[in-house]
Amino acid sequence: MPVSLQHMSLDWGRKPLKHRENTQAPRTQSRGGVMNAHNEVRVYVRTRPTAQFAQELIECLPDKQTVNVRQRKISRKGVLNNQMSSWSFRLNGVLHNISQEDVYQQVAHSVVLGALEGYNGTVMCFGQTGAGKTFTMTGATESYKQRGIIPRAIQEVFHEIDNRVDHTFSVHLSFLEIYNETLVDLLGSVKGGQTKHCGTMAVVEEPEGGVSVKGLSLHPVHREEEALNLLFEGEMNKIIGEHALNKHSSRSHCIFTVHVESRSRTLSNATYITSKLNLVDLAGSERLSKTGSEGQVQREALYINKSLSFLEQAILALADRRREHVPFRQSKLTHALKDSLGGNCNTVLVANIYGEAAQIDETLSTLRFAARMKCVCTEPSVNTHIDPALQVQTLQKEIQLLKQELSFHNTLANQAAVTYEDLSEAQLAVVKSEVQSYLAGTLDEITIVSIRQIQAVFAQFKNAFQEQEKQLKAQKSIVVKNTPSTLSMSDAKEPVEEMEGANRLSVPASSQRQSVSPSSSKGKKVKESSRKNGQGNAGPGDHLTMTQSETEILVPPSAAETKKSPKDDAKKRCDTPPSKMEAFEVYKSERGHEINRILKENKSVLKERLAQLHNLTGVINSIKRDIDHMRSELQLYREERQSQGQLVSADGEPVLDEAEVTLLIKLRRAKDQYRQNYEELLSTKAEVQYCRHLVDQCRMRLFSEFESWYNESFLLPDEVLDIFKDGGPIRAGLVPVDKALALEGDEQEHAELLADSPSATSFYNAYNRTVQRVRLTHTHTHTQRYRKQGNCTGNVSIIRITERPTPYTVAVTKQTEMRVFFLCSEHLIVLFTGRAAWDLTQTSSNRLQPSPEGGANMTTTPYLAQITVAYFLVLAAIELFGKEVCNCKRH
């Protein structure tokens, strides 16, 4: 077996970078940056110097990036004729007659710096046997000046490490050989190596992507010299053969890897970065007819050629972006290079070629491989890791610091006694009793001291709510059992959509328990028809979501309630108001008929526009697909042509062929079509948005008017209804704040004026309207005045409820007995004493029971405006506490 060991001279000492030899070649990238903006593999071609350089066949252009190759055409019969074919290859650089130092600077310098910044890097030499791959990668052994990329990379790594004092680095080396499809550890015999997994060597996939070699030893190195020793040791172990084209031909593929790990000395975070710098010297492809290899060397050549052809297949697949599968596992070489070729790596290929005419076929084939490789994309990214143990330590320190901050803050705020640990059983019991007292009205406020306490308070509220809900359900099931439904599912089906919204705006349960009289005949009609159905309200609620209000209504009137006085008639009727769903149906067909009709019309227009939008989207997507398809067809076509070499005219201009031109025209047309449809899509979208807005507006109006009508017909107390009478200061429905606030005293004033003369009604009505209008313009000032009276300053706890279309804010002042509630909605802002409001809830009375302490805007005689306001406030407040509180802030 003609295997020999290559002799290496070991006299390459380290030389400081500032004394380096000629560095004329431009530095392509800045220090440590991602070297390739387009994330494509960078490809260089290097010519082996020769006295017989075939100038007439190989032309290196002055741009130092293009190489043109000419070859005699082969006739159909397989014989050469005098016609020539030309190919042009544009690469990242043509390294023709340049020094080893310049090669390193152009090819590997930025990849090495990238590796120190956490980017994986690969530099790989490919080409015909004897073309200069080993010379490029390892260099000549005789002279320091002629050393190749690997020793220079080692030198640069350690030089940079010495300079980067803000980081600590650890460097390990490995040296893998793939010989006849067998993995060999070239440093296996060297002591001090660490091997992760023992046993047969194999390429294994890493859980986080990428590959590693099981059983390959990793050697820690601290100095350049140590690293060079290992390189030379491995080089000595490489298998070398001899044939006609190369006396010292590498018979295997070799991957020298520098593993770098770096941590910041200045930042005390738990992150660190790692990278792998792969320096790959591939075995050369060879034609047995040219090398004249025999026996073992011939067998090796077969293995080499086979693995290189698998490499070509993998590159073809990688370059074709439509291919999902890349056959990496076909050979040990492609599998081992999996993450170096198409991964997160800065990859550079050097294609080594002969300059002689005799090797022109192989040169052309090497250049085609290089052109394909240039189409391969990589995604360089920094390999950042987190050290879990260090992170725990850092977080513990941070917690400690924050605890100290907090206790310092508490001391300043006179709250040194507050603890922030989990609440004990005793503390939880205290919270529970506080919440119960608060709900019962015996406690005005719960002082908030910590987040854990807030959580416990909310948990208690939730418990209370759930318990109440359970009770209501139990109550409902009893009533439902006794109340046969007369409405079928289909009856209830249509209103569902609208009622979902109606429920959102609905008046809560307790409000319906109040004794009120209907003010309109329509309301009565609904109520009466509902009465005919036994208890009146069970129907739709049985099939749909049973709201709290509906369940409440189902409770049959007690014997005491049926005993009526003449004035109690209204009360009794309101004990059993119709279900909202039922009432809503009636409302839509009568009072709300017009707005309901408009809503329906708007909905149908919206539906039509949505269908149009849907169609347009379909059309656009299909055009987009066509465009994508054409683009990739064009790309593929170009790549194919590029890999065959760019066809150029006699003047050297690139020539487009007919097929490419046709594809370009088709693509342009499709783009125009896409643009037109897209514009149409935008205008249709705008129309849809507008229609949606109209539908929403109509729906909101329908609901709000229904609410007003329902309240007016079934729920509002007589006193309130009186003030809604024609000519009264407040119109029926939700009470606008300005009117509510302006109401005070109006009744009296009105009555006095009317007393002048009964025939002066129109005059006074007009007068009153003008007065109201003037007051309306002063709403803001008015509200401010009340706000001040409400003493809404100082510490305020705000609980915001977000589960409603319009969020409500309940603000409770801490300073005085006075409580101010703001119910903010489109129509109503209420200022009131909290105690009075809660009293009202508890007694279920329609009369306001002011707190004994009273407030600046409260007296023992309830004003009508205040009653009205209180009424709405209480409804909202009850509803609030039936909902889960989502967010609590302490100001």
127 in a known ligand binding site: yes
Q: Does 510 bind ligand ATP (CB under 6 A)?
A: no
CA–CA dist 279, 190 (Å, integer): 20
**Per-residue mark of binding to ligand ATP, 83-122 (x: CB under 6 A):** ----------------------------------------
Residue 259 touches ligand ATP, criterion: CB under 6 A:
no
DSSP E strands: which ranges in 728-846?
Answer: 796-801, 808-813
Is residue 131 at the binding interface for ligand ATP, with CB under 6 A as the rule?
Answer: yes
Q: Which of 44, 126, 135, 871 binds ligand ATP (CB under 6 A)?
A: 135
Residue 297 C-beta: closest distance to ligand ATP, Å: 10
- The smaller minimum CB distance to ligand ATP, of residues 249 and 257, is found at 249
Q: Minimum distance from CB of 357 to ligand ATP (Å)?
A: 18
Place of tokens 């043509």: 94
- What is the C-alpha to C-alpha distance for residues 5 and 427, in angstroms, rounded to an integer? 82
Binding mask 271-310 for ligand ATP (x = CB under 6 A): ------------xx--------------------------
- Decide: is 48 part of the binding site for ligand ATP (CB under 6 A): yes
Number of H helices, E strands in the chain: 31, 21
Q: Which of 8, 34, 140, 446 binds ligand ATP (CB under 6 A)?
A: 140
Q: Which is nearer to ligand ATP, 135 or 709 (CB)?
A: 135
In the complex, what is the shortest distance from the CB of residue 127 to ligand ATP, in angstroms, rounded to a whole number?
Answer: 6
Give 293-297 contacts, CB < 8 A, sequence gap 24+: 293/241, 293/243, 293/244, 295/1, 295/2, 296/1, 296/2, 296/3, 296/241, 297/2, 297/241, 297/242, 297/243, 297/249, 297/251
Q: How many CB atoms neighbour CB 664 within 10 A?
A: 13
- Please give the Cα distance from 166 to 263 (Å, whole number): 9
Of 42, 109, 133, 571, the residue at the interface with ligand ATP (CB under 6 A) is: 133
Closest distance of CB 307 from ligand ATP, Å: 13
Q: From the CB of 285, what's the least distance to ligand ATP, in Å?
A: 8
CA distance 707 to 505: 7
**In Å, how far from its chain's centre is CA 251?**
50
CB of 276 to ligand ATP, least distance (A): 23
Q: Which is nearer to ligand ATP, 129 or 363 (CB)?
A: 129
462 annotated ligand-binding residue: no
Q: Residue 378, interface with ligand ATP (CB under 6 A)?
A: no
Q: Which residue has the tokens 């198409």?
A: 342
CA distance 681 to 616: 6
Q: In what helix (H) or strand (E) does residue 472 lie, and over which residues does it extend? A: helix 451-482
132 binds ligand ATP (CB under 6 A): yes
Q: Determine if 248 is a binding residue for ligand ATP (CB under 6 A).
A: yes
Q: What share of the chain is helix, strand, coil (3-state, %, to 5)?
A: 50, 15, 35
133 is in an annotated binding site: yes
| Options 114-122, 124-132, 490-498, 812-820: segment touching ligand ATP (CB under 6 A) | 124-132
CB of 292 to ligand ATP, least distance (A): 13
The answer to whether 134 is a known ligand-binding residue is yes
Q: Which is nearer to ligand ATP, 350 or 721 (CB)?
A: 350
CA distance linking residue 283 with residue 128, whole number of Å: 8
CB of 368 to ligand ATP, least distance (A): 18
The verdict on 363 binding ligand ATP (CB under 6 A) reads no
| Residue 352 in the binding site for ligand ATP (CB under 6 A) | yes
The least distance separating ligand ATP from the CB of residue 345, rounded to whole angstroms, comes to 23
Select the span of 245-253, 361-369, 564-572, 708-716 touching ligand ATP (CB under 6 A). Answer: 245-253
Q: Evaluate whether 187 touches 236 at the Cβ level (below 8 Å).
A: no
Is residue 132 part of an annotated ligand binding site?
yes
**Residue 790 token pair:** 């409400």
CB of 108 to ligand ATP, least distance (A): 15
Strands 345-353 and 42-47 turn out to be parallel
| Contact between 151 and ligand ATP per CB under 6 A | no
Nearer to ligand ATP, 284 or 850 (CB): 284
Tokens coding 663: 């594809």
At 123, give phi and psi (nearest 5°).
-120, 130
Terminal CA-CA length for the chain: 88
**Residue of 36, 105, 122, 249 that binds ligand ATP (CB under 6 A):** 249
| 114, 121, 130, 541: residue in contact with ligand ATP (rule CB under 6 A) | 130
Work out whether the CA dihedral 826, 831, 832, 834 comes out positive or negative.
positive
DSSP track, 696-723: HHHHHHHHHHHHHHHIIIIIS-HHHHHH
**Interacting stretch for ligand ATP, rule CB under 6 A, among 4-12, 248-256, 335-343, 797-805?**
248-256
- Residue 423 CA to residue 445 CA, distance in Å, equals 20
∠ Cα 171 173 175 (to 5°):
165
Alpha carbon separation from 627 to 322, 618, 622, 624, 632 (Å, rounded): 15, 14, 9, 5, 9
Which stretch, 105-113, 123-131, 400-408, 627-635, contacts ligand ATP (CB under 6 A)? 123-131
**Minimum Å distance from CB 375 to ligand ATP?**
24
Kindly tell me which of 127 and 342 has the beta carbon lying closer to ligand ATP: 127
Contacts with ligand ATP by CB under 6 A: the residue count is 18
CB closer to ligand ATP, 242 vs 444: 242
Cβ-based nearer residue to ligand ATP, 132 or 342: 132
Distance from C-alpha of 531 to C-alpha of 577, rounded to nearest angstrom: 9
**Interacting residue with ligand ATP among 110, 120, 250, 510 (CB under 6 A):** 250
Nearer to ligand ATP among residue 283 and residue 741 (C-beta): 283
Of 131 and 554, which has the nearer Cβ to ligand ATP?
131
246 forms part of the interface with ligand ATP (CB under 6 A):
yes
Q: Is 128 annotated as a binding residue?
A: yes
Annotated binding residue at 676? no
Q: Which is nearer to ligand ATP, 140 or 613 (CB)?
A: 140
Residues 241, 244, 246, 251: is their CA dihedral positive or negative?
A: negative
Distances (CA, A) of 787 to 291, 471, 794, 870: 101, 39, 13, 16
Q: Three-state DSSP class for 524?
A: helix
The answer to whether the annotation marks 781 as part of a ligand binding site is no
- Binding-site residues from annotation: 127-134
- Binding-site residues from annotation for ATP: 127-134
Applying CB under 6 A, which residues contact ligand ATP?
A: 48-49, 127, 129-135, 140, 246, 248-250, 283-284, 352
